Amino acid sequence: MAACENRGPGFREGIMIHNTPRSGLLGPRSGLLGRHWIDLLRPQDRAIFRPSLTIDIGAATGAGPTAISAFDAALCALGAGNANLIRLSSVIPPRAVLRRGRGASEPVPWGDRLYCVYAVQHASGVGATAAAGIGWALRDDGSGAGLFVEHEAETTDEVSAQIHASLGEMVGNRPEDFGPVRLCTTETRSEGAPVCALVMAAYQNIPWNSGTTRGSGGARR
């Protein structure tokens, strides 16, 4: 059972959209100023938003004879089963766009390094439950910057409460203003064998021995 909130301004059909004005600015003599001058005149933290990174968010569950195999099954369901995971510390960089789906837009190529934020919880034994979730809040300046937080527990209700508590404190530690908290959570129940609940935010993947980076679905950049 997976759920992801996608209500509110700027979040449509699972895609986080940031609208920024693109109208020109009148100069004193020569009519519209060029975009170069608009960028110079606009405060840096209100700069025109040009997306540079798409972060794919997805949730999955897995089961197997061991906890590791259950985790692998969940990773494969998200298209990240063949990736070497590099876990990040939950800061969303400026000019990012968040996209809700089933994880990576395409399976990550074999062996690529995948930069990601994830929450994972395991359970085993008949009736035991595992829940995981990621929450996020974006700065309200239209920059695309924000914060992720990940939590694990036995139920999604517990996960949601922990996410709201953590993000509430984290945004309070910063001088910027933030928008509402969004969530993506999942929960699973064991029938006896080990199970895994996994939620991942995939930033980008990079092949070995190459300076080329790819989006989380494998597209070259």
Residues assigned a catalytic role: 84, 89-90, 150
Q: What is the CA radius of gyration of the chain?
A: 20
- Name which of 187, 200, 185 is nearest 99 in CA terms: 200
Fill in the amino acid letter for 143.
S
Query: Do the beta carbons of residue 182 and residue 150 sit within 8 Å?
Result: no
Tell me, rounded to whole angstroms, the distance of Cα 143 from its chain centroid: 16
CA distances from 13 to 17, 119, 130, 188 (A): 10, 23, 27, 25
Helix, strand, or coil (residue 91): strand
Helix, strand, or coil (residue 67): helix
**Residues linked to residue 197 through DSSP beta bridges, in sequence order:** 61, 121
Query: Do the beta carbons of residue 64 and residue 91 sit within 8 Å?
Result: no
Decide: residue 29, CB within 10 A, 0-12 exposed, 13-18 middle, 19+ buried.
exposed
Q: Taking the CA of residue 129 as centre, how many other CA atoms within 13 Å lie in the half-sphere pointing to its CB?
A: 13
